[in-house]
Structure formats: C-alpha cells, structure tokens
Chains A and B, each alone.
Chain A
Amino acid sequence: MTTETDQAPGRAAGRRAWLRDHSELGVCALLLALGVLVLADALTMDVDIAQRGPVGPRTVPVAVGAGLLVIAALLAVDVLRGGRGRAEGGEDVDLSEPADWRTVLLLSGIFLGAAVLIEPAGFPVAGALLFWGAAFALGSRRVDRDPLIAAVLSLITYAVFDKLLGVPLPGGPLMGVL
C-alpha cells in the first residue's frame, strides 16, 4: 500500500522531469503547427484566375509547408535520441542559472505598452517610458537617475531623427506645446 502511494508522485515527478528535459519537443510542435498553417493557407488559395505559367503562387508555400512538417519530425527524432540544441552563450549570459521568465514577460509588456503609447503620447514620452521601464525590469533602481537618463535619451533621439536626419517620429502633444 505505502509503496504504491510513494510511487505515484514519484512517477509524476519523473514525467515532469522528462518533459522538462525534452522541452525542445515544443519546438517540434510549433514547427508542425507552422507547417500545417502554411499548407492550409496554400491549399485554400484560390488560384484559377491568377495562375500564370506552370508554377503558380501555391507551389513554393506547399514546398515550405511540407518541409516544415518533415523538419519537425526529424527534429523530434533527434531530440528523442538525445540530441539537444545548445543554448547560446554571450558576454553577459550566465547559463548556470535558470531562465528568468519574469523579466522577459515584463520587458515584452513594457515594449507593447510603448507601442500603444507612441501615437497618442508621442515618441519622446513613449520612448522615455520604454527605456526607464526596461532598465527597471532589468534591475536598475536609481529613481533619481534613471528617469532623467530616459528623458534626455528620448528627447535627443527625437531631435536627431526628426529634425536632423529627416526620419519622421510623432512628437505628440508635448512637442506641440514646446
């Protein structure tokens, strides 16, 4: 009796460890889904009128979609046989610690927020918030210095691009006042 109850959580933990160890199978699933998507889009395409020449707009997407399915399968075989994609190193990358998902999500959220703000609030405001928010998410807590750097960087960038380089950026209401 006792052994059975001991084994059940052990098996569940084992399965979880297996899944974590084989998380690369998720990449295979994504490639598979992408392949199905590309194939479905290509096959539902209405080509009768548009076709010119022996090869229509469908051929290459069908080939790419099929390729994605094949690669998804090959990658799955490789992973199950013990092959692993090596995570990329770098100057500031420390792979010995587990991934910090909170920072990644926070950064993505801040980036989206800035994208939403750029037109109503203007680039100087949205850009400054993006820089400050990202620096905060990455662990900088200098409340006196960070917003100042963000504001100056954003304003200079706006001035250089919009006025000097001739690349238009939205000024927003703030620039309308100044």
Chain B
Amino acid sequence: MNALTSLLDGFGTALTPLNLLWAALGVLLGTAIGVLPGIGPAMAVALLLPVTYGLDPTGAFIMFAGIYYGAMFGGSTTSILLNTPGESAAVVAAMEGNPMAKAGRGAQALAAAAIGHFAGGMVGTILLVALAPAVAELAVDIGAPDYFALMVLAFIAVTSVLGSSRVRGLASLLIGLTIGLVGLDQMTGQQRLTFGSLQLADGIDVVIVAVGLFAIGEALWVAAHLRRRPAEPIPVGRPWLGRGDVRRTWKSWLRGPFIGFPFGAIPAGGAEIPTFLSYVVEKRLSKQKDEWGKGAIEGVAGPESAASASAAGTLVSMLTLGLPTTAVAAVMLAAFQQYGIQPGPLLFEREPDLVWGLIASLFVGMVLLLALNLPLAPLWARLLRIPRPYLYAGILFFAAVGAYAVGGEVVDLVILLVIGLIGFGMRRYGLPVLPAVIGVILGPGAEQQLRRALQISDGSVTGLVDTPFAVTVYAVIALLLAWPLVKRAVRRGRTAA
C-alpha cells in the first residue's frame, strides 16, 4: 500500500496547475513533432530536450512523459495515413490501419489506435506502479559487480536481440563506447582521446551524441534519398467508433498490454516483437478472418495497445535499474544525467517526489492524450502535408539550437555535425543507431563499476561473479548469446525429421 500513498502524493505533484500545463504542452508538442513524417519518438524527445532546460527536474520530466506518449501516438497516425512507417514498431499499425484509411475508415483506425494507446498505457502504468518499487527494493543492495553485469546485459541485449546483424550491432556499440571514452578518466583524471584539446577534455555530451545520431544523421540520410513526390496522406475526419467496432476491439485493447508490458520490462525491449506478436494473436482469435490484410480493426487496436504498454514496461528497467532498452529510454536517461540524477534502485528513495510525480503524470498524460488528440486528429493529419524542405531544414535548425543550448559552445555544433555524418554512414551501411547511443550513455558507468568491483576483489576476476545476482545475469547473457545457435539447431532438427 506504500506505493499507493506515494502515488497519491505523486498526483499531488502532477496536478498542480503549472505541472498540468507542462504535461499538456508536452502531449501537444510530442504529438505535433511525432506526426511529422520521418520523426520517430526518439528524435522527437531528443529535439525537445532543450525546451526543458529552463525547467526544474520534476516539471521537465512531467513534460517528457507527455512528449513520450504524444510522440508514440503521432507515429501511429503517420503510419496509418501515409503507409510508410518510419520505425519498426509502427510497421504493424500500417498493416491494417492503412487499408482501413484507404477504405474510408481512417477515423475509426485512428480512434482504435488512440484508445489502444490509452488502454495499453493505463494497464502498463498500473503494472509499473505495482512492480517498480518491488524491483527497486530488490535491487537496492546490489553492488558494483551486479551493476556491471546488468550493463553488459544491456549491451548484449541491444546488439544481439534487436537488429538483423550482430556484427553490425557490435560495431555500433563499440563506436558508442569509443565516443564515451573521450574526456578525462573519472577515477584518475587521465586524459583519454582528447588529443590535448581542452574542449574534448570535458567529454562529449550525451545530448549532442543523441541529437547528432538521431536528428542530424536522419536529416542528412533523408536528404540524400528524398522522394521526389512525397507520399500523399489520406484525409481524415474526427475519429470515432461505432458500437460494432467497440464490441470487436475491446478485448484486443485489454489483451495488448499483457503482451507488450513484459517485453518492455525485460532488457530485450523495444515494441517491435510485442506489436507483431499481438498482431498474430489477434488474427488467430478474430472471427472475421477474411478482413485481415484489408483493414481489420483488431489489427490496429491490439498492437497499438501492446506498443503503449511496452513503453511503460521500459520505464521499469529504466527507473529502477538505470538500464535503457529503447532509443526513447536512452534519450530520457541522458536527460536524467543532464540534471545530475542517476536512475537506479536508489532513485525511489532519493527522489520520491520526482519519480512519483513522473509516474502520476503518465496517467495524466494519457487522459490528456485522449482528450486532446481525438478532436485534434484532422489538424495533425494536415501536418503530414508540410513541404519536405521545410521539415528537414527545421530538423537541422532545432538540432543546432539544442546542441548550442547544452553549453553555449560553437565547437559543440561542429561535433554535432561530425556525429551526424557518422549517423549518416551508419544508416547507409545498416549499422543500428541504438547500440551506439546506449554505449555512450552506459559505457562510462560500466567502466567505473568494473574498476570498482575489481578494486574490491584486488584485481581478481572472480570479484565480478561473486554474487548470485551477477551469476544469474551472466546466465541470462549466455542464454541470449546461445539463442540463435539453439534456434538453428532446432530448425535443422525439424527439417531433418
């Protein structure tokens, strides 16, 4: 019940007029930016980071919660009305949503998506409230070797579970770790990879890396391959659902979260797998099988709800263990670091106002999302017609504002461009961007924990595996690494039989 009283205190924080305003502003900005074609939730959060620099941490994170959910909903609007999903999690939304829009049922598709987001987010956040304090309590005693094991798990999970090529994932991770090395060594003050430059001695700010890889890299990549004729969005009216639609979809909305949340909570996150799983489940359970592929509304409702719940799930590992597993969580962790706050087991003890205010504002944000976005949907749809030169020029412009706002240094803009060009190259050659960002964010911390653990054990490597927790985590890592081999063996066995 302790969590419940804390949550009530959190609502006290979230429902002050000023914080309510930040949440509403976050939802509106997040949806507006997320709807724009080519901008996924991660880029939206990265671009909007500087907006929160002037706020206190609590207000900033309340705004982030709104931006996060708004950007996710905006992304599904784009894939339903344009049928060219920018990120993998939105692919499923386009599979049934776009045929619906083409058949003149775009309003229903958007409503099913919006309510799906609402239902998934609600159930997911309730699970977050129930689980997070328990996880934090379990994790509160973990020491340096356990932290190091967890970070290794995050590295392995983002490189080998997501994406299609492990070698390319690892290459991306190592690029990130290298960027993370630049600057003064935290324990000895030794200069590393600074080449005598004073500016580099401070290290490269995580925000600049995130904005460079997500925003500049993407804008340059699109610029090199810009469609001569942008895809035409399908016009849409105010979203609504008939009684028949509701009867078909309410079970899908409720099933989605239980598929999405677990996948978000384990550090193999991302909404890619759960949305697809939910799609398959809904298809199997559906009574109108002939409609699938031509616009079955359950195929929008279930996966969208799963995606939203998986976002809540990622917050569990992000807040209680400090482990980001998705690009958005990575950018949010970077934002926490900007304020000198280290997410982890102690966060719930040290910053209860902030954490519970943030969690309460997730609920508030979802209500606002539903209340604002249903009536505003036709307006958002109009944003899809923005001329592409303005859109990508705007991304470059706001990326520059964000990078300059970090420290007021011109050299940051040059570093931003260089990292953007790296991001461009990574997109060209299929290196996933997420492992690099995770490497930059977690790399320095992982090194510190490693050295601390080895200091305690006086240099003996056994110091890394002397707790049951660490051993368990390494077992999970071994399982992740062995999984493709097992799968191949099983498949071979099946074809032989």
**Separation in Å of the A41 CB from the closest CB of chain B?**
5
Do B84 and A90 touch (CB < 8 A)? yes
Cα distance, A167 to B403, chains bound together (Å): 12
**Separation in Å of the B345 CB from the closest CB of chain A?**
24
Do A115 and B181 touch (CB < 8 A)? no
Chain A residues positioned under 8 Å from B222 (CB to CB): 90, 92-93
Cα distance, A51 to B317, chains bound together (Å): 34
Considering only residues 38-73 of chain B, those with a C-beta below 8 Å from chain A are 38, 50-51, 53-55
Considering only residues 273-299 of chain B, those with a C-beta below 8 Å from chain A are none
The contact of A169 among B82, B170, B391, B404, by CB within 8 Å, is B404
**Separation in Å of the A76 CB from the closest CB of chain B?**
10
How many inter-chain residue pairs (CB < 8 Å) link A and B? 235
**Separation in Å of the B214 CB from the closest CB of chain A?**
12
CB-defined interface of A135-154 with B at 8 Å, one 1/0 digit per residue? 11111100000000100011
The contact of B220 among A56, A104, A170, by CB within 8 Å, is A104
Cα distance, A47 to B451, chains bound together (Å): 15
Do B50 and A64 touch (CB < 8 A)? no
Please give the number of chain A residues whose Cβ is less than 8 angstroms from any Cβ of chain B in the complex.
Answer: 81
Do A118 and B190 touch (CB < 8 A)? no
Where chain A touches its partner, the secondary structure class is helix
Residue A14 is within 8 A (CB to CB) of chain B in the complex: no
Considering only residues 397-419 of chain B, those with a C-beta below 8 Å from chain A are 397-398, 400-401, 404-405, 408, 410, 413-414, 417
Q: Which of B231, B391, B397 has the most CB of A within 10 A?
A: B397
Cα distance, A135 to B387, chains bound together (Å): 10
Do A24 and B174 touch (CB < 8 A)? no
Considering only residues 79-120 of chain B, those with a C-beta below 8 Å from chain A are 82, 84-86
Do B390 and A135 touch (CB < 8 A)? yes
Q: Which of B54, B165, B393 has the most CB of A within 10 A?
A: B393
Residue A17 is within 8 A (CB to CB) of chain B in the complex: no
**Separation in Å of the B432 CB from the closest CB of chain A?**
9
Chain A residues positioned under 8 Å from B54 (CB to CB): 164-167
Do A100 and B223 touch (CB < 8 A)? yes
Which residue of chain B lies nearest to A127 when distances are taken between CB atoms in the complex?
B397
Cα distance, A93 to B221, chains bound together (Å): 8
Which residue of chain B lies nearest to A139 when distances are taken between CB atoms in the complex?
B389
Do B189 and A53 touch (CB < 8 A)? no
Cα distance, A30 to B174, chains bound together (Å): 12
CB-defined interface of B333-365 with A at 8 Å, one 1/0 digit per residue? 000000000000000000000000000000000
Cα distance, A50 to B451, chains bound together (Å): 14
Residue B234 is within 8 A (CB to CB) of chain A in the complex: no
Do A100 and B410 touch (CB < 8 A)? no
Contact A50/B189 with A60-B181, A61-B181, A127-B400 known, Cβ cut-off 8 Å? yes
Considering only residues 35-88 of chain A, those with a C-beta below 8 Å from chain B are 37-38, 41-42, 45, 47, 50-57, 59-61, 64, 67-68, 71-72, 74-75, 78, 83-88
Residue B487 is within 8 A (CB to CB) of chain A in the complex: no
Which residue of chain A lies nearest to B398 when distances are taken between CB atoms in the complex?
A157
- Binding stretch for chain A, among B304-312, B320-328, B423-431: B423-431
Which residue of chain B lies nearest to A41 when distances are taken between CB atoms in the complex?
B193
**Separation in Å of the A81 CB from the closest CB of chain B?**
11
**Separation in Å of the A14 CB from the closest CB of chain B?**
23
Cα distance, A137 to B224, chains bound together (Å): 11
Chain B residues positioned under 8 Å from A68 (CB to CB): 174, 178
Cα distance, A79 to B197, chains bound together (Å): 36
Contact A42/B192 with A91-B82, A92-B388, A167-B50 known, Cβ cut-off 8 Å? yes
Chain A residues positioned under 8 Å from B450 (CB to CB): 55, 60
Contact A168/B226 with A27-B431, A53-B451 known, Cβ cut-off 8 Å? no
Chain B residues positioned under 8 Å from A165 (CB to CB): 51, 53-55
Do A111 and B396 touch (CB < 8 A)? yes
Residue B168 is within 8 A (CB to CB) of chain A in the complex: yes
Chain A residues positioned under 8 Å from B231 (CB to CB): 91-92
Contact A134/B427 with A55-B450, A75-B168 known, Cβ cut-off 8 Å? no
Do A99 and B227 touch (CB < 8 A)? no
Cα distance, A145 to B409, chains bound together (Å): 31
Do B227 and A67 touch (CB < 8 A)? no
Do A85 and B397 touch (CB < 8 A)? no
Do A87 and B430 touch (CB < 8 A)? yes
Binding site for A on B (CB under 8 A): 37-38, 50-51, 53-55, 78, 82, 84-86, 164-165, 167-168, 170-171, 174-175, 177-178, 181, 185, 187-190, 192-193, 216, 218-228, 230-231, 387-394, 396-398, 400-401, 404-405, 408, 410, 413-414, 417, 421, 424-425, 427-431, 447, 450-451, 454-455, 458-459
Interface CB pairs A-B, < 8 A, 9: A57-B192, A71-B174, A83-B165, A87-B427, A104-B424, A111-B417, A134-B392, A140-B387, A165-B51
Which 4 pairs between the two chains have the least Cβ-Cβ distance? A85-B430, A54-B459, A134-B393, A166-B54
